Amino acid sequence: MYEVLSNYRYELVYTGVVFIILLIIQFLLKKAAHRVGKRSEINFTRTRLMFKYINILNILIAAFLLSIAWGLGLTQISVIFSSVFAVIGVALFAIWSILSNITSGIILFFSFPYKIGDTIRIHDKDLPIEAMIEDIKAFHLHLRTQEGELITYPNNLILQKAVSLVEHNRKNEEGKEAL
């Protein structure tokens, strides 16, 4: 055990430092996402989705930094990452709509002006929709029409269509005044 510690002490120290720094970065990013979610009155479920994306980003950064620490050269790392990204790219190209919806979900988290409970109108010439936003997921919105019909509307389409606010959810405003 002592031999392992003495032979790999620099690598172990570097690993510990990387983990501590990444934990701090993860904490700060989650705190910032939470603050943006709270300031923009975003549902906590959507904020937790951003937490998942932050975790994935941290894992990728940790894998890259630790592979350097434990002796992989930049050429070896670039071959591994390019191979992985090539496979992922081919897989995602085959199912590009999933990537498009995830990206749209991230954009909606930061800049979607409508909240859960608002009634919106989607101006689509083929199928105009007027419904209340019931939930905002990673891939789609749950919209409830006045007839009670549940519509799942893809996030990437909500960014491509004109949307107007029909009725703002008053419950959120009443709760603010009480505070």
Q: What would the pLDDT profile of 109-164 be if each residue is shown by its tens digit?
A: 777 788 888 899 999 888 889 999 998 888 888 999 999 999 999 988 888 888 99
At 118, the amino acid letter reads D
Task: State which H helix or E strand residue 119 sits in.
Answer: strand 119-123
Are 105 and 31 in contact by the 8 Å Cβ rule? The answer is no
- ∠5-11-12 over CA atoms, to 5°? 55
Higher pLDDT, 25 or 174: 25
Diameter of the chain measured on Cα atoms: 72
DSSP label at 144? E
Residue 21 and residue 86 in one domain: yes
Of the residues 28, 59, 94, the one at which a domain ends? 94
State the pTM of this model: 0.51
14 and 83 housed in the same domain = yes
Contact 120, 130 (CB under 8 A): yes
- Looking at the domain assignment, is residue 100 inside a domain? no
Q: Residue 20: which pLDDT band, with cuts at 50, 70 and 90?
A: very high
> Distance between CA atoms of 95 and 116, rounded to whole angstroms?
28
For residue 154, give its domain range: 113-178
pLDDT one-digit tens code per residue, 41-62 = 777 777 888 888 888 889 888 8
- Is the pLDDT confidence value at 8 over 80? no
